[in-house]
Structure 1
């Protein structure tokens, strides 16, 4: 097995942690996303999403070549890219308004929880992508789960800032 592919797909071995390696992969994505945002703002996090997707697809294909299991639990690079996507609305808001991204910690909690919810339950197109049975499907189901989570983060922020704060403030 290609060692670089293994280290990439398991995010440096994090995928071997038990229980719930996908959750460990999502947790590992949080400080990595923070670092990308801190170093280069929203644009760098977008580049990280694209790069992680491309490299993750390659690594997953390498690790699953010749195996009947198209999505072994130790492959968690897909969770990293999905979690990055779930955090994009926070990165954009922090970048555009020039604020510390950690101030939006409730959004981080929501992004993590929503991404895990969608990744585990696999509703609609997430499940269809997962059933592809190939490396691209492994990555795409988490990309879509990340998009669903990002939409959820935006919706919760709109609800909080557009409705709840007005009610509380009166």
Structure 2
């Protein structure tokens, strides 16, 4: 694999080269800087979610270039899509604590693997669009569930 800016971003700076569960590694690699930003800069889930949205187009570009260089439709080493989806998930967090981080991780991975309607259809979009759009949509689904959980907690916490 030729290393350049696109492949660096697509592999999320090498995270996607993990020999075990690169998608999960990509999700974790998204959470580490998110947790640091929340703790040191006071970022909210919405701030982190906004970063995921801002990363969407660069992720599409990087995934497209890296996939073409590899000659594959959706290579496993491309994990910037998981980074986008994991960050978008956090948009639904009303507060950030270890339970929220864990719940956001599990929800995003579940929706990313399950791909309920119409997420799976998004994989058929051309190039980087298909690689990233399904994970972004999984992040939206997970964010909605995370938001609902936060709402339930606020309604039923004594």
Q: Secondary structure at the match of 1:156?
A: helix
Unpaired runs of 5+ residues, structure 2, are: none
Other-structure match for 2:141:
148
Unpaired runs of 5+ residues, structure 1, are: 95-100
Deviation, structure 1 residue 35: 3.3
Other-structure match for 2:125:
132
Are residues 1:122 and 2:140 paired?
no
Q: Secondary structure at the match of 1:142?
A: helix
RMSD: 2.0
Question: Within 2, Cα distance between the matches of 1:35 and 1:55?
Answer: 22
Are residues 1:19 and 2:12 paired?
no
Question: Within 1, Cα distance between the matches of 2:126 and 2:85?
Answer: 18
What do residues 97-123 of structure 1 show as CA deviations (whole Å, max 9, x unaligned)?
xxxx3xx22111111101000001111
Q: Is the 8 A contact 2:49 2:89 kept in 1?
A: no
Deviation, structure 1 residue 72: 0.3
Other-structure match for 1:87:
90
Deviation, structure 1 residue 132: 2.1
Q: How does 1:155-166 map to 2 (within 5 A)?
A: 155-163=148-156, 165=157
TM-score (norm 1): 0.81
What do residues 38-65 of structure 1 show as CA deviations (whole Å, max 9, x unaligned)?
4362465354223321211111111122
Question: Within 1, Cα distance between the matches of 2:140 and 2:51?
Answer: 15
Question: Within 2, Cα distance between the matches of 1:19 and 1:67?
Answer: 19
Given candidates 49, 53, 57, the residue that maps to 1:54 is 57
Other-structure match for 2:48:
45
Deviation, structure 1 residue 156: 1.4
TM-score (norm 2): 0.87
Question: Within 2, Cα distance between the matches of 1:58 and 1:2?
Answer: 15
**When the two structures are aligned, how many residues end up with a matched partner?**
155
Question: Within 2, Cα distance between the matches of 1:57 and 1:83?
Answer: 15
Q: Which has the larger radius of gyration?
A: 1
Structure (1/2) with the larger helix percentage: 1
Q: Secondary structure at the match of 1:41?
A: coil
